[in-house]
Amino acid sequence: MRQGRPGLGWHVRIAIGERIRHCLPSRAWLNACQATRMETPLQLVIGIDGGATYSHGVAATHDGRVLSVVHSASMNFTGSYQKEVRRRVSEILHDLELQLPFSNEFTHYAVSAAGIFNEATTDQKEKLCGKIYPWKRTRLVGDSVAAFQGATLGRPGVLVICGTGTSIIACNEDGEFTHHGGWGPLLDDVGSAYWIAVKCIRAAIAEFEQSGPATSITDALCGWYEVKNVQGLIPVIYHPEFTRDKFAILASKLDREIGGADPVYQQICREAGEAVANLTIQTVEKSGLDTSPLPLFFSGGVLLFNRAVMEAFEETIRGKFKAMLSQPRLPTVLGAAMLALRDAGVETSNTLVEQLETTYKNVDELVSS
């Protein structure tokens, strides 16, 4: 239970308290203070989406009202030091608390993190939670698991995430999950923004070595990084600060700059879309999901904003399945909140989902402004 910790709610209450104190006799003031201290704690759950590029957190009541929203930097469970991950979680929790009323009780937590497949082990939970919050009331899952909850609301279907990385998760009618991809850039996230960026750099190298066709990718790269030729890119790419999210940004810039004009780039995008679609087909077939039309949800910057990749992906999928393609109903952070609510014994209803969706948008807009 949180009581008396300074924050946004604390400042509001002090201001109100001062007004009350000046207009009430001393006994009445004491009674008002006692009433404040004795008010029933507001029961809340915490949902955290610890992504490889950005992280997000929410605090929500048991009836689905989102009261606070926080956005932060990346939180990769395997790609960062445990101490760094714990620090990030602690910061998110602290910032969420600053937006909350005076008296709260956090009943359950759900944290989704990049670098975890499905459910984390007890040892992983203990290492992450430390003394920050009780690990026995915490769900620690892969980011794709929370994303799936937000997308399908826990119903059978398949979610394809293709952004900085690529991850596909399917759930059949028996509630059994099958997960493909999510191996990270070093082990080949096919079709991802990182994958596209590396393919583009290789295409520029092939032109330079005269082992591949000419491409406007070369001029775009050399112009952005102000180098004479692709050899000048090596110090840039191998610099420790040129992290995988920088590769993802590079892929996005290339799409805006030469998207529909360069045949080499277009071929790379077609290959990306087909690769992600083929991995999706493998996942669905292995899962035993037998629903027609196939409920297929897609997210991530590559599928949302790269038209050539999306066209190749959809064409390949529809060549195999009768599919109903749509974007997730809720963002990943609300998928994490739904997992925490479920652990708190709250049933997932249409009213709950609508409440989460509406209040999240309202609070997020308020925080952003």
Q: What is the pLDDT along the chain (369 residues), one digit of tens a residue?
A: 444 333 333 333 333 333 333 333 444 434 444 444 446 788 999 999 987 678 899 999 999 999 999 998 777 655 555 677 778 888 998 999 998 877 888 999 999 887 677 776 677 666 666 666 666 788 888 888 899 999 999 899 999 999 988 999 999 999 899 999 988 888 888 999 999 999 999 999 999 999 999 999 999 999 999 999 999 999 999 999 898 888 989 999 999 999 888 999 999 999 999 999 999 999 999 999 999 999 999 999 999 999 999 999 999 999 999 999 999 999 999 999 999 999 999 999 999 999 999 999 999 998 877
Give CA–CA dist 317/368, Å, rounded.
37
Give CA–CA dist 112/117, Å, rounded.
10
**For residue 169, what are the β-bridge partners?**
159, 179
- The pLDDT of residue 190: 95
185 preceded by cis ω (within 30°)? no
- The pLDDT of residue 144: 85
Domain 43-151+330-368 has CATH 3.30.420.40: yes
**Same fold: 43-151+330-368 with 154-328:** yes
Tokens standing for residue 253: 């810039």
- Let me know how long the chain is: 369
Supply the pTM of this predicted model. 0.79
- The pLDDT of residue 260: 81
Tokens standing for residue 27: 């006994």
Domain 154-328: give its CATH superfamily: ATPase, nucleotide binding domain (3.30.420.40)
- The pLDDT of residue 133: 66
> Beta 104-113 vs 66-73: how paired, if at all?
unpaired
Backbone angles phi, psi at 61, to 5 degrees: -75, 170
* Burial class of residue 138 in the structure, from the number of CB atoms within 10 Å of its CB (0-12 exposed, 13-18 middle, 19+ buried): buried
Give CA–CA dist 317/326, Å, rounded.
13
Give CA–CA dist 340/100, Å, rounded.
18
Give CA–CA dist 339/109, Å, rounded.
8
- The pLDDT of residue 104: 85
DSSP at 2 = B
Q: Are 76 and 113 in contact (CB under 8 A)?
A: yes
Q: Can you give the residue ranges of every domain in the chain?
A: 1-39, 43-151+330-368, 154-328
